[in-house]
Structure 1
Amino acid sequence: MTAVILGCDTNALLRWGYPAAVGHVALHGGILKRWPLYSCPDVEEGTEAWLLVHGSNDAGSGLMGHGLVMSQPCRVDPGGDHEAAGWFVAVAFDALLPLGEQIRAGTVGNVIPKDLWAQAAGPALVTLPPSYVPVLRRLWRELGPTTADPAEVVGGSLPPAAVSNIQVNRYERDPDARRACLAFHGTRCAACGFSFESTYGETGTGALAVHHVVPPAMLEGGYELDPIADLVPLCRNCHAVAHGATPPLSVTELQSMISGAGHLRGDVVAAPVLQAQEDARRILEAGQA
């Protein structure tokens, strides 16, 4: 269980265009960054990486992000379009905290050695002793990024090998498109008929997901979303199963799977419907008498 600390200062973050990178991760779930280094690092592809920033004071310093090293160390020669000669690794960040919302240096300093903090006054890459990795993950899980979807896992809160990614496009997160979809299709899962509101009451309001019928990657550029034709409501189970295939499964395919497994789609029957059924039964029985 190995991990590294990527160190830099706030000026380096601003040169990177860090606020835009934070927005990109929030929208797309990750961003790839070429991370510059003074010397050739001893690091393997797939190593977990933590972004540690050194500011002018405690308020500007701290733990800012999490990712994975995605390449072997590469040499940058002088000249060309590169900023400077040196080494770099490619890092895929899956979580970044906005400027000013980092886990402060004093808190981080309580869980990792002070000398490691000093060594990471980057641009630097410092190997984190294995015993500190689970401690840092726990700190990140407790004080790091939050997510609007409680079913999602915060980046860096689990070992990389234990995490599988479900690609959810930005249309499915758009609040206006979601409202339009549910206003037309209703608040039951289009595949299995489950209703969060009927089952959990007000607590279940807003738990239903919306699903893009045709993956945006298969559409031509400039396509404008039609929230009624392109989006359908799905419960969390059906949504996860739909996105478990490439391309995602259609509602019809999900319904076929459900019926094939012996589970028929059903609805919650309201009291007036039950009463009408009872009245009809009495009328039929009276007619047979």
Structure 2
Amino acid sequence: MFPKVETGMNVFLLVWNPKRWDHWGDHLGEVAKTAAGQPVPGSWSMSSRRSGVFPGDRLLLLRQGRESGILASGVAVGDGPECIYEDGHWDKSKPDETAFYTNLEWDTVLLPEDVLPRETLKQQVPEVTWERVQGSGQILESPVAEKLLALWHEHLSDIDDPESETWRSPTDDEGWFIEGKRTTKTVNRYERNRKARAECIARHGDSCVVCGFNFGKRYGEHGLGFIEVHHLKPVGGGGGKQRKVNPDRDLRPVCPNCHAMLHKTKDRSKPLSVAQLRRMLLEDLDEEDWEEEVEAQPPDKCPACGGNRFGTYLRGLIAAPDDELLRQMDQDEVRIMGCLVSDEDACWFCRDCDADILEEGWLVPDGEVVHQLNRLTELHYDGVIDYDEFRAARKRLLDPSALS
């Protein structure tokens, strides 16, 4: 699964100090891509090293400062015999100077909270003076390199191993991750997938979708990339069974305060929706205003095209849309429906084929089916049929599987 130290292959330490350079533009996206097994091309400064890096050499990135430790790994790439080249300095305050770089492909990029900690490195690989690694390009002697790579691979296995921590590997279904299997250690707990979490943050960002708070902007390096992930459908509600979780559809980044408020309901298995809490924040509403409302979930796949990317129709008057809602509207993640809605109005729309989908997961009807539904509703209101008969007849009209 992981590259091994081979004869003729060198291992180098790269260094990243976020205080000196915090412009890793798509860090969250690269976390998600490498978690899904996609190599990510890039380049990195080699400090004063001007030669000696060849295609296939292994590169390990040490993050300095807070949450110090090994954050990423990759392989040097290049067309020539060596991979180092000279270009403009990465420090924009030095416009007249140059620096030396190597092209590479990242095979693993982690969130800061998942690093292989420096304290562990000091204990397990004492041959390296970890406090004194000042710049990129330090080459490791073969026995030390083998020890460090083995420790790195063990760390990656540990955070992905359901028997050691809380993560599971992706299923074979593209875009889906397995979550929620109950295991027993000291207490029962529910597994949460590191890769699904990384994909959620890559797709939705690291700002709270309710209040917009961003820890990195507020606390600088100390808060960089920190955010909690909220399961729109509680992960503990599966009775200990595994279930499929789609990061785009099922997960949202939220700050700890908003996360606690989402779950502060009379029935903890039915959290408030993100839209509900956002409106509480804007309009100073109480939970009682939402007592009758239950968070619904879109189907596993679109009944029209089989896709799994859904947007949400928001119902009601949005008096003062915030920046996050405007962003979601701009990216077609949500659409405003209005106040006067019925059971035959869509709850979701497919972002792949634009089909409108009812709360039950069926396609919105048209033509003769609408006429039959209207007649069915009249019979129910007139007392000719009771509610159960009405629901059963409605399902026969709308659910294709009910006819089989």
For this structure pair, what is the TM-score category when the shorter chain's length is used for normalisation? 0.3 to 0.5
TM-score calculated relative to the size of structure 1: 0.47
Q: Which has the higher helix share?
A: 1
Higher RCO, Cα 8 Å, sep 6+: 1
Per the normalisation by structure 2, the TM-score is: 0.35
